[in-house]
Structure 1
């Protein structure tokens, strides 16, 4: 958004005392971020008012003219010019020799087609005040010949660009008057009131009806006639151009000017085309509508529109219609000044793909109390251009959603706690008064009443008031101080810490992806697989999918049904809540989707994952024992309980093929669950340090043969009972399945006193082999 410093000076008393260059640095600190500053008019020098005395054709060109002008220099100047609009008696801007224009750093005496030109007659574009370059700018004949053009046209200006994002929560600053209020507060200056026309009588009533009182907060309008002036003042045109808009006509320019001044958009309808105004929603209907830019658009459902009886004439808060536009010969208008719901405007603008200057402001939640003020200000400015206008009606004002001032209580204790600045009551009151806040000072508190333009969404609580005080006082004036507080160790949340540790371990040691599912079942999944959960707790007032889950793995299976459309092998996990009876339990569930060819490998990998996880968390070893499951969707033959300290803390199994084949015909799904509450009850075993031997360790591998159905746990129990003075430890190396199960064990032997001899190693081997055979197992012959 572009801001003209020239315009701000009009609103501030003694504004000449303000340095409008350095002030913007303060503005960035106190109010909003400045994106850039541009000094206008620096490149326009020695340009004066001149009168055209003669215009003749150039003898050596069909396009050029020989022009004689009186520029107040004491003698007429001969200038070669190619503009088509020159005429005798015309007042024009003339750049003298040594002067400069936009795009022409220095004006020099040059020869054009054999004739010397002693200056340049300038267009509006060359003066930098518009993009019009169709001809020489025609000046008002009241201007004094020879005077600097800048005396009559406000070419010199300081224009700043403010970052729109920093104004999102400040709708009051989307106009120059709101910015001027901030500048006045920052600089300790006085904000002047706006000049308005306040002599409007109770004339005829306009036929206005607001049907959608939800999305139309306020609708004000008035009829103005006998409008004869067609063009805005040069001052207003330059202002609009510097702020990024172009001059169209007096009426359009005035509505744009008011939008840039007060921040509230306005719209003018040709009153000869309007018989009544109805503000209503399109409801469930779509309609075709041609907007002012002559584009036919399809208006979506639930769009707020302005109607002339049954005919749409404007998209509320976005753009007017071509069927009611103000034309060159329009002499009577209905002036709309309204306030529409921010969300409604944003949704409609997004649906239409039509973001306008008006919609961007309405989306910020404008103050509805500005609508009547804007009308009175418009009339004042219009009368300054055309004093013969006639007010044909009263101000019609429909105000269904009245906005009141926000009242906030701020305790002095809270103010001191937050900013701890040396501010007395008078200073606090002065700061807030400078922002037009009303302040009632009590013994221990301030009762602050914010103006309505700060009450739409900005000022809601005491912290907002503190921010206002701190920013105007100056953040750079606040003394940095260390926080004074008691250092208390936080209360440990064992459940949170356990879950975090599990997630971290899985994330760093596997390729499983974490998911988050809903707390309720999908009815279609339960029905498809005939899983009865009718006795579960249900969500009240929810007709569909109301059954709360008691099995997290089923929720993860719903995710698998969706993800298997895109990939064949993946793994997911979640730590979530299950509702069992009236109790909530936390469960870790893992689903590993793999091909049936790799299921054995994945099954063993998940067992190893659980083993390592528990070893890391509790420094204990889990056991896997055969189990019978109550879950109908699991294969019982592959179901193992996970035991820790003889307590069941979970299971591992494979999901039934009738479910897994719906993910992929060749897929198997391995399922693991760990019960967090049970894991919490088991203490971590302290790590015991064993001094390593300084003598060499010998590793001996033996492959022991088991029956195909026998569990490794049986062999492990027997090996745990074996004792030998040279045996340090053993561990499982590999498992191989054919007709029998072959388990490879690595035994680590040695001594703390010496290096073992060959005979001692052989003696250990013979003793171990005999022990294994005595317990009914055979060893694969290494030969």
Structure 2
């Protein structure tokens, strides 16, 4: 959007505001200024002069020899061919060395044998208008020797603003002036003082709008008795200053009003409108081509909106008029159009036809329907004045899309809170009224604000707050630091546990695996899950990538078994893998699946994978390896069960998972709750997965594990006093687990007992069948004194007696306490 300061001063005072200050203020208002350019600086080289005398050129019939006064020195001799040159005429002179706007350099030269010391210029040669009929005729009272720009009052500045799509109201000089009036607290002058009622009762034409959705408003008004000719010089200069070429007084008025008020207009030669009827509609069958004003034939489509007469299209709505209905030198009656068209429709049409225009630029962003009446009033007045015509006292206004103005409530406290400044309710109202918002005081600290129709970007209360911020000035709003409480947010316990588990398992030689969450249901049959097992209630994918990835996984184990199979196929048989991830369980239709976090680890192959055989044995991993991993996890995590320590209990034949070997599997229990299982996989399951080696697994429900309390770390100083060891050798029934014997000693909570260790288990001769020999070592220590035999023997005997009673044990022959 381009405008000049002289044009802007028609509506608002710029006293005390320099062009640079205005550009800075507009930019701070959200209207980014791209350029500030002084106009007509090139005219400083041209001066005013008086023609002292005129004589006929002796060697040319159409040339004259003029003596020209410049106010300095002797008169200059200039050869001129203009028909209107005469003695006493004040005009413009280009002296030798001056360049014309077209690049021609003026030199002293001989014209038909006589020396010419310059050139008398026409307005066309100076780029001031299209008139090239003769040299410029200036005010006879004008002083000579003045720079031409100063003499004509052409000193002006052009400013170009880059508008955002949400501010179509500023695509006009009047819109920019409204912004200036808002921040400078002035009253905006209007170019239209009254509106002529348009009833449509005294006109000789008709208007029909067939598609009211694409054309909310259409106004037509006729101006009769016009004479088509050049527009006034001041209007041509304003149009040229903003990059628009003057054409004639009728077309120039429509362009001038569009730039001034933001409402695109179009002038039809009324004599070319067939049937004296305007129809706003889409193209009909057979209407495939249309010749626009630029002489090009355009291909039409059904979704385009056209302005038609009774026989066919005469303009592309909102984009460009037709060649057959344009205003020409023979036009005496003009039908003016001021309309509002759907922004999306105009944007699509302009793109499809590849006709960008000033009119489509505005329609694409949204034109105020209420502006059409004022704009056509202004245009009719100017055409009647400068076209020597008469604007008819009536017209047609079709307004099917009229809407009620938007009313919003504005809370003063909300404004102060969002902007962080102290501003009174009265100041807020003044700022909004300054840009044509209507503000009605309400009770308390609230106001009722009526949004003008031209502000299509205002929808909510916060938009009004932004308007106040713009007018106050963003640079006037203080910068403050947010108040942030200095504390760390509480970490997710499950996330922290996941990181800790990964570190523990990788330190144990495991590698972490990441598998797809999409699996096949065939795995459930391979694992031998019961038909009513919850893990068979899977969530199915609507568009699976393949049949092998049709459901969401409810277990991590199948993925790890597939990893083992793949590794073995590549001759990598010593494997330690773990995965921590989500499992998904189906819920009711329409609900998201239930997600649970799970840990699963697997071991197979050698106990010391990839180790040098010189230093490590080739022993295969067994049940005790996976049990050791499980115990290390529990110990390192320092978890405590609801009823004391977590316990590792052998699986029952009935309760054991179908994919585990009951004879070599144990459960991790928190009281009666099973939170995990470890042990050897059933060989039938391994065969189903194509694995021919023993595999040991660890499976833990992390949701249950993360809820357990963590035992706090406690510092314990190094012992100062020596320890005492005692061994126990007992015969116990073969079915009694050795671990239960160790656990029974700890459960007695003897203060002197520091640790216990199992160092031998023996079955066979000479021990009778059904019994086994268990040898334990118990370490005693006191934190306050050196123990003697008497105090140790007393505690030791209590432990032995308790074990004999609890496990029906007896001394092994030859053993000593």
Normalising by structure 1, we get a TM-score of: 0.63
Equivalent residue number for residue 299 of structure 1: 300
Query: Which is worse superposed, 353-362 or 65-74?
Result: 65-74
Residues 70-124 of structure 1, C-alpha deviations (whole Å, 9 max, x = no match): 456497532246xx75554487522357977657899776777875433333355
CA contact (8 A) 2:51 2:67 kept: yes
Aligned residue number for residue 6 of structure 2: 6
Contact 1:43–1:105 at 8 Å: present in 2 too? no
Question: In the alignment, is the contact (CA less than 8 A) between 1:209 and 1:279 conserved in 2?
Answer: yes
- Larger gyration radius, structure 1 or structure 2: 2
Partner of 1:171: 168
Decide whether the 8 Å contact of 1:109 with 1:118 is kept in 2: yes
Alpha-carbon distance between aligned partners in 1 of 2:450 and 2:190, rounded to the nearest angstrom: 20
Residue pair 1:55, 1:88 contacting (<8 A) in 2 also:
no
**1:6 positional shift:** 1.1
Classify the secondary structure of the residue corresponding to 1:221. strand
The aligned counterpart of 2:429 is 429
- C-alpha distance 146-340 of structure 1, shift in aligned 2 (>3 A): same
Q: Is 1:347 paired with 2:348?
A: yes
Q: What CA distance in whole angstroms lies between the structure 2 residues aligned with 1:209 and 1:605? A: 85
1:14-33 matches, within 5 Å, as 15-33=14-32
Equivalent in 180, 183, 189 of residue 180 of structure 2: 183
Distance across 2 between alignment mates of 1:440 and 1:55: 74
Counterpart residue number, 2:47: 47
**Which residue of the partner structure matches residue 399 of structure 1?**
399
Q: After superposition, what is the alpha-carbon deviation per residue over 1:388-430, rounded to whole angstroms, capped at 9, x for unaligned?
A: 4123461210001013322111112211110122211221121
SS in 1 for 2:457: coil
Aligned residues: 574
Residues 1:199 and 1:438: Cα distance change in structure 2 (over 3 Å): closer
Question: 1:361 Cα deviation (Å)?
Answer: 0.4
Change (3 A) 1:111 1:609: farther
2:23 aligned counterpart, secondary structure: helix
Distance (Å, rounded) in 1 between the aligned partners of 2:496 and 2:627: 36
Match of 1:217 in 2: 216
Secondary structure of 2:327 counterpart: coil
Question: What's the counterpart of residue 452 of structure 2?
Answer: 451
How far apart are the structure 2 equivalents of 1:349 and 1:586?
56
Please tell me whether the aligned partners of residues 184 and 191 of structure 1 are also in contact (alpha carbons under 8 angstroms).
Answer: yes
- Identify the residue that residue 259 of structure 1 maps to in structure 2: 258
Query: How far apart are residue 557 of structure 1 and its match?
Result: 4.8
Q: Using the alignment, how far apart are the partners of 1:281 and 1:609 within structure 2?
A: 74
Question: Unpaired runs of 5+ in structure 1?
Answer: 501-508, 516-548, 561-572, 579-584, 592-598, 618-643, 651-674, 686-696, 706-713, 724-738, 744-783
Query: Does the 8 Å contact 2:554/2:584 carry over to 1?
Result: no
- Cross-structure match for 1:477: 476
Distance apart, 1:299 and its partner CA: 0.6
Match in the other structure for 1:156 = 155
In the alignment, is the contact (CA less than 8 A) between 1:287 and 1:299 conserved in 2?
A: yes
Q: In structure 1, what is the equivalent of residue 772 of structure 2? A: none
Query: Cα gap change, 1:427/1:398 in structure 2, threshold over 3 Å: closer, same or farther?
Result: same
Shift in alpha-carbon separation, 1:364–1:716, aligned structure 2, 3 A: farther
Preserved CA contact (<8 Å) 2:5 2:156: yes
1:441 equivalenced with 2:430 (yes/no): no
Pairwise CA distance, 1:36: 1.2
Change in CA separation of 1:49 and 1:378 when aligned onto 2, cut-off 3 Å: farther
User: For residues 252 and 608 of structure 1, what CA distance do their matches in structure 2 show?
Assistant: 89
Flag the 1:719–1:471 CA change in 2: closer, same or farther, 3 A.
Answer: closer
Question: What residue number does 1:390 align with?
Answer: 390
| Distance across 2 between alignment mates of 1:609 and 1:332 | 96
Which deviations, in whole Å up to 9, do the C-alpha atoms of 1:36-69 show, x marking residues without a partner? Answer: 111112232252265596476696xx99966415
Distance 1:4 1:491 in 2: 60
Partner of 1:694: none
The CA deviation string for residues 709-752 of structure 1, in whole angstroms up to 9 with x for no partner, is xxxxx9765975899xxxxxxxxxxxxxxx99899xxxxxxxxx
Tell me the distance in 2 between the aligned counterparts of 1:497 and 1:343.
53
How far apart are the structure 2 equivalents of 1:359 and 1:721? 78
Matched residue SS, 1:212? coil
- CA distance in 1 between counterparts of 2:318 and 2:307 reads 10
8 Å CA contact 1:172–1:178 kept in 2: the answer is: yes
Alignment match, 2:509: none
**Could you report, residue by residue, the CA deviation over 1:613-645 in whole angstroms, capped at 9, with x for unpaired residues?**
53xx6xxxxxxxxxxxxxxxxxxxxxxxxxx9x
For 1:551, the equivalent position in structure 2 comes to 540
Task: Assess if the C-alpha contact under 8 Å between 1:121 and 1:136 holds in 2.
Answer: no
Within 5 A, what are the aligned runs for 1:245-644?
Answer: 245-274=244-273, 275-282=276-283, 287-386=288-387, 388-392=388-392, 394-442=394-442, 443-454=444-455, 457-484=456-483, 551-552=540-541, 554-557=543-546, 611=577, 614=580
2:662 aligns with none
CA-CA distance at 1:11 after TM superposition: 1.0
Q: Quick one: distance in 2 between partners of 1:3 and 1:306?
A: 30
Looking at structure 2, the residues matched to 302 and 586 of structure 1 have their Cα atoms a distance apart, in angstroms, of 53
SS of corresponding position for 2:545: helix
Partner of residue 531, structure 2: none
User: How big is the alpha-carbon RMSD for the aligned residues of Structure 1 and Structure 2?
Assistant: 5.0
Tell me the distance in 1 between the aligned counterparts of 2:133 and 2:297. 37
Report the CA distance shift for 1:613/1:86 in structure 2 as closer, same or farther (over 3 A).
Answer: farther
CA distance 1:361–1:512, shift in 2 (3 Å): farther
User: Which residue in the other structure is 1:79 paired with?
Assistant: 78
What is the rounded CA distance, in whole Å, between the counterparts of 2:30 and 2:385 in structure 1?
33
CA distance in 2 between partners of 1:497 and 1:307 (Å): 73
User: Residue 802 of structure 2 corresponds to which residue in structure 1?
Assistant: none
Instruction: Identify the range of structure 1 (366-375 vs 35-44) with the bigger mean alpha-carbon deviation.
Output: 35-44
Answer yes or no: is the 8 Å Cα contact 2:384–2:391 preserved in 1. no
Contact 2:405 2:452 in 1 (8 A): yes
Return the alpha-carbon distance in structure 2 between the equivalents of residues 173 and 199 of structure 1: 26
- Return the alpha-carbon distance in structure 2 between the equivalents of residues 205 and 184 of structure 1: 42
For 1:607 and 1:56, the matched residues in 2 are separated by 116
Q: 2:136 aligns with which of 135, 139, 142?
A: 139
- Whole-angstrom distance in 2 between the partners of 1:514 and 1:95: 85
TM superposition shift of 1:269 = 0.5
Whole-angstrom distance in 2 between the partners of 1:718 and 1:676? 36
- CA contact 1:289–1:312 (8 Å) conserved in 2: yes
Unaligned ranges ≥5, structure 2: 500-511, 519-537, 560-564, 586-591, 602-610, 630-689, 695-817
2:207, 2:396 within 8 Å by CA — same for their partners in 1? Answer: yes
Contact 1:300–1:351 (CA under 8 A) maintained in structure 2: no
Match of 1:68 among 60, 66, 69: 66
Q: For 2:8, what is the secondary structure of its paired residue?
A: helix
CA distance in 2, matches of 1:498, 1:607: 30
Q: CA deviation at 1:282?
A: 2.7
Return the offset for 1:127: 3.2
Are residues 280 and 683 of structure 1, via their aligned partners in 2, closer, same or farther at CA, if it must alter by over 3 Å?
Answer: same
CA–CA distance in 1 between the matches of 2:318 and 2:241? 24
Mapped pair 1:232 → 2:231? yes
Q: How many angstroms apart in 1 are the aligned matches of 2:480 and 2:384? A: 57
Distance in 2, Cα, partners of 1:607 & 1:189: 87
Q: Partners in 1 of 2:352 and 2:495 — Cα distance?
A: 44
The answer on 1:95 being equivalent to 2:94 is yes
The worse-fitting range, judged by mean Cα deviation, of 109-118 and 246-255 is: 109-118
In the TM superposition, residue 157 of structure 1 has moved relative to its aligned partner by 1.2
Q: Find the aligned partners of 1:602 and 1:281 in 2 and give their Cα distance.
A: 72
Question: What is the aligned partner in structure 2 of residue 627 from structure 1?
Answer: none
8 A Cα contact 1:587 1:676, kept in partner: no
